[in-house]
Amino acid sequence: EDQVTQSPEALRLQEGESSSLNCSYTVSGLRGLFWYRQDPGKGPEFLFTLYSAGEEKEKERLKATLTKKESFLHITAPKPEDSATYLCAVRLRYNFNKFYFGSGTKLNVKP
Amino acid sequence: GAVVSQHPSWVICKSGTSVKIECRSLDFQATTMFWYRQFPKQSLMLMATSNEGSKATYEQGVEKDKFLINHASLTLSTLTVTSAHPEDSSFYICSASETGRGYSPLHFGNGTRLTVT
């Protein structure tokens, strides 16, 4: 069964304390893995697309990596404005109108 | 690029009335759009897949007569909540992926907060 699992559910960091969020996936075929940031009361904002194992993407303090089973979102020296819920999603290779979302990691960065 | 506009951002209506929510892809065409519902502190729940020029595909448990979806053009999908009741109060979000780009992500609107009194 196609499935996406994110961990941890919630993460509290001090400003400047680097960490990683995990997205594990079990799918019949991966077309793409996507990371989003969602602020309260807003729609998810697209961050990254990863297509194949070994690929990495960076944007400011965020770096996303992909293996054959999971993806990590690394946050380096986070700031309070990085506080948000981070979602990952996969798009299936054999049914490209199917997107599976994880339940998200709620990140809280304290000053 | 790849902007999705959703309107209204919030709406309050009385029980028994209907509410229409619009979702537009501003700078790309979208044969398929997706409607999600999100409860507080929960992840996205797919309600239906909207297909331009044909009937929407609803997820199990979603009442198609209550949540009417129309995808009239390659840039516009609408969700109408008919005979709304307080339990329909929620955050509704639409999304779309660019037609012909099978590897592209979903782009989301900013959501509509529906409150039924």
pLDDT band at B1 (very low <50, low <70, confident <90, very high): confident
- Looking at residue B3, its pLDDT comes to 93
Burial per residue of B95-111, b for 16 or more beta-carbon CB atoms within 10 angstroms, e otherwise: bbbbeeeeebbbbbbbb
Question: What parts of chain A have a pLDDT lower than 50?
Answer: none
Is it the case that residue B96 has pLDDT exceeding 90?
yes
Cross-chain residue pair A43–B110, CB shorter than 8 Å: yes
Give the per-residue pLDDT at B41.
83
Q: Give the residue with greater pLDDT, A93 vs B38.
A: B38
Instruction: Please determine, for residue B100, whether its predicted confidence score (pLDDT) is greater than 90.
Output: no
On the question of pLDDT at B107 being above 80, the answer is yes
Distance CA A56, CA A72 (A): 10
Average pLDDT over residues B22-32: 94
Question: What dihedral angle (degrees, nearest 10) is formed by the CA atoms of B26, A30, B60, B94?
Answer: -20
Residues of chain B contacting residue A41, judged by C-beta atoms under 8 Å apart: 91, 111, 113
Give the per-residue pLDDT at A25.
96
Contact B113/A at CB under 8 A: yes
pLDDT of the residue at B5 = 97
Strand A45-50, strand A56-59: pairing = unpaired
- What is the mean pLDDT of the segment spanning B51-80? 94
What is the band of B92 on the pLDDT scale with cuts at 50, 70, 90? very high
As given in the structure block, the two tokens for residue A68 are 């054959």
Across the interface, of A42, A49, A97, the residue whose CB is closest to B49 is A97
- Distance CA(A73)–CA(A58), nearest Å, equals 10
Structure tokens at A70: 């999971």
**How high is the pLDDT of residue B63?**
95
Residue closest to A100 by CA, chosen among A43, A48, A23: A23
* Listed range (B1-10, B95-104, B106-115) with the worst mean pLDDT: B95-104
Which pLDDT score is estimated for B102? 75
pLDDT reported for residue A68: 92
Res B7: pLDDT: 98
Q: Nearest Cβ partner of A99 from B2, B93, B106?
A: B106
Nearest CA in chain B to A51: B103
Residue B65 to chain A, least CA–CA distance (Å): 23
Q: How many CB atoms lie within 10 A of CB A42?
A: 16
